[in-house]
Structure 1
Amino acid sequence: MAANDEDQQIKELVGRLTDNLPGVGAGVIAGIVANVHCGFEGRRVRGFVPLLVERMAS
């Protein structure tokens, strides 16, 4: 997966979580997703990172 694809999927994830959790601010959600996503930095296999981030951030 190209970095741009992964970045786009992460942005879409933030949007979905923001829509699904209206009581939580978009900034809070973006921060949580960024924190979880950072934990995967440097990993070679990237294909499932957005899915794992979503599961861990939800």
Structure 2
Amino acid sequence: MADKAREDEAIRGIVERLTGAFSATRSPAEVQSAVAKAHASFADRPVREFIPVLVERQARTLLNESSD
């Protein structure tokens, strides 16, 4: 359970960081959606330790691609 709470906290931090980083081009809802989509893509992965790093990278990619 502690791992789940730690992962959830890390995901919230990612949303906050990316909301700030993309504030000029993306709404908070768009950032939340990109992070949720990225996080969902790792739902079936048994090893959770690096999920927040991977989610942030994938969400950044999604947000950058959609701004082109």
TM-score after normalising by structure 1: 0.93
Q: Which has the higher contact order (CA 8 A, sep 6+)?
A: 1
Give the superposition deviation at 1:43.
1.0
Runs of 5+ unmatched residues, structure 1: none
Deviations 1:2-56 (A, max 9, x none): 1010000000000000111112101100001001100111211000000000011
Question: Sequence identity of aligned pairs in percent?
Answer: 36
Match of residue 3 from structure 1: 4
Q: Secondary structure at the match of 2:29?
A: helix
Match of residue 29 from structure 1: 31
Runs of 5+ unmatched residues, structure 2: 61-68
- Structure showing greater radius of gyration is 2
Number of matched pairs? 58
Match of residue 13 from structure 1: 14
Runs of 4+ that moved beyond 3 A? none
TM-score after normalising by structure 2: 0.80
**Segment drifting more, 44-53 vs 19-28:** 19-28
